[in-house]
């Protein structure tokens, strides 16, 4: 997950600060050295790191911090504020007062431009918009076909040009089609290259003159690190981009691109791709990301995902079962399915302050959900409601029936008990809801 390595290093540095009690300037200087090294190892631009550390240090050595009863917490607060300032607090799409809103999506080949264009369309569709995808990549083989398949998969309109050799004509046809179909947003897919060249830029400039976009979004692969900054600078100089879509953040544990690109280009990161599914796209919020990096969680994003995916009636019933100690293996399986719809299990834990430590031995392999389902469904109703009756002979029967092993059955039961124990720790919350729309249940 993005920032995982940086987060671990920063949290360790601040753990050392908290253990010292009162702080001296030397303590803060040592901590800032560790912060600097952590940022550089995360592939953050050197000048960005220098500016960040200088700013934090200047504020952290002030009398108000050093004389505070909780100086370490004051330092962490300053770092949180500076991280938020560095990444920005988020920016919205420039929606046209006279629909359709025209959005050009640009980027290098291989950055995930076409796929993430469909993710964006789905995101706005869920918000009540009526988007259209327009294919204007006349160079990459099968680019038009791919976009058409993606449009169908997310349930949005698609304009297939009659001339697949003229990007400008394809754009003109899309503008006419959008008006005919009553679409209020058009996402234009553009041609990419393996590297930036003048021919590519000239073609996109020509397309821009025809489209007259309300927004130009640059798709950048987070895993390219510092190259992402250089790419963003080049596209901005040529096209005056409005924002950045950072993709493949689930595969980049460092996060240098996210921390550098806004500071260097001045252009905001507006969206981030968090996985391979078409639903794995979310608006970028620098303040929430800063909280995740520092181990403070991101409850707001978790709430938003929950409200989109979780059945409130089911959640309330599950909460009631939990409060009365009737949570069983059927509930366990159902809860895993709902959480899977919200994103990866590990990403959920990142958003709940302190939850990673609280989970302890719970290690659910999401890829094995099919095996877990087979094991549970091989049990009798009585065994599902009361796993304590499962002896060796029953476990052998269940393993044979599910095509698994006794070891896997035991592992599942261990996961179930650990999860149940963790959930019981929330019983003291009474009627106070952990998050809107989800009853007393924490997820």
Q: Report which secondary-structure segment, H or E, holds 244.
A: strand 243-247
pLDDT in tens, 372-404: 889 999 999 999 989 999 999 999 999 999 999
Residue 219 forms beta bridges with which residues? Answer: 245
Q: Where are the domains of the chain?
A: 4-87, 101-295, 301-429
Highest CATH level, class, for 4-87 = mainly alpha
Residue 282's pLDDT band, with cuts at 50, 70 and 90, is confident
CATH architecture of 301-429: Orthogonal Bundle (1.10)
Residue 200's pLDDT band, with cuts at 50, 70 and 90, is confident
**Lookup: tokens for 439:** 């009853």
Residue 357's pLDDT band, with cuts at 50, 70 and 90, is very low
Per-residue pLDDT averaged across 358-368, rounded? 51
User: pTM of the entire structure?
Assistant: 0.69
Those residues whose C-beta lies under 8 Å from the C-beta of residue 296, and which sit 6 or more positions away, are 80, 353
pLDDT in tens, 218-234: 998 877 777 788 888 88
What confidence score (pLDDT) does residue 359 get? 46
Report whether pLDDT(87) > 50: yes
What confidence score (pLDDT) does residue 437 get? 35
**By the 8 A CB rule, do 106 and 131 touch?**
no
Report whether pLDDT(297) > 80: no
Domain 101-295 part of CATH 3.40.50.300: yes
Closest residue by Cα to residue 107 from 242, 245, 211: 245
Nearest-angstrom CA–CA distance, 143 and 135: 8
Q: Taking the CB of residue 43, how many other CB atoms lie within 10 A of it?
A: 22
Nearest-angstrom CA–CA distance, 189 and 194: 16
What confidence score (pLDDT) does residue 261 get? 83
Q: What share of the chain is helix, strand, coil (3-state, %, to 5)?
A: 60, 10, 30
Report whether pLDDT(105) > 90: yes
Nearest-angstrom CA–CA distance, 395 and 353: 37
Q: Report which secondary-structure segment, H or E, holds 410.
A: helix 406-424
**By the 8 A CB rule, do 253 and 4 touch?**
yes
- Tell me whether domains 101-295 and 301-429 share a fold: no
């Amino acid at each position: 997950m993005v920032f995982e390595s940086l987060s671990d290093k920063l949290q360790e540095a601040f753990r050392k600060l908290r253990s010292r009690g009162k702080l001296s300037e030397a303590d803060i200087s040592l901590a800032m050295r560790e912060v600097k090294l952590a940022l550089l190892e995360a592939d953050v631009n050197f000048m960005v790191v220098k500016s960040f550390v200088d700013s934090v240090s200047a504020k952290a050595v002030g009398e108000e911090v050093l004389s505070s009863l909780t100086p370490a917490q004051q330092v962490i607060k300053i770092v949180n504020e500076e991280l938020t300032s560095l990444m920005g607090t988020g920016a919205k799409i420039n929606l046209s007062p006279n629909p359709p809103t025209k959005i050009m999506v640009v980027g290098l080949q291989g950055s995930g431009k076409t796929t993430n264009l469909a993710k964006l369309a789905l995101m706005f569709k869920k918000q009540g918009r009526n988007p259209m995808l327009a294919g204007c990549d006349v160079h990459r083989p099968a680019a038009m076909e791919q976009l058409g398949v993606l449009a169908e998969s997310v349930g949005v309109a698609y304009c297939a040009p009659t001339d697949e050799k003229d990007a400008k004509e394809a754009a003109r046809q899309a503008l006419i089609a959008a008006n005919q179909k009553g679409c209020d947003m058009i996402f234009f897919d553009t041609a990419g290259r393996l590297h930036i060249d003048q021919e590519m830029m000239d073609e996109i400039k020509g397309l821009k003159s025809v489209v007259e976009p309300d927004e130009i979004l640059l798709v950048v692969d987070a895993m390219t690190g510092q190259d992402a900054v250089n790419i963003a600078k080049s596209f901005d100089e040529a096209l005056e981009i409005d924002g950045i879509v950072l993709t493949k953040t689930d595969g980049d544990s460092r996060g240098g691109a996210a921390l550098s690109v806004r500071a260097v280009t001045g252009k905001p990161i507006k969206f981030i791709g968090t996985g391979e599914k078409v639903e794995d796209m979310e608006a970028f919020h620098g303040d929430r990301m800063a909280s995740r990096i520092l181990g403070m969680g991101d409850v707001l994003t978790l709430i938003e995902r929950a409200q989109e995916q979780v059945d409130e009636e089911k959640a309330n019933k599950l909460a009631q079962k939990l409060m009365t100690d009737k949570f069983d293996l059927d509930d366990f399986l159902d809860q895993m399915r709902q959480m899977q719809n919200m994103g990866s299990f590990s990403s959920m834990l990142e958003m709940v302050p302190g939850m990673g430590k609280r989970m302890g031995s719970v290690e659910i392999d999401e890829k094995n959900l099919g095996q877990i389902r087979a094991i549970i469904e091989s049990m009798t109703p009585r065994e599902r409601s009361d796993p304590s009756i499962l002896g060796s002979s029953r476990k052998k029967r269940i393993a044979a029936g599910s095509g698994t092993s006794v070891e896997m059955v035991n592992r599942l039961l261990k996961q179930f008990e650990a999860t149940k124990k963790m959930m019981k720790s929330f019983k003291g919350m009474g009627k106070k809801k952990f998050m809107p729309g989800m009853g007393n249940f924490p997820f």
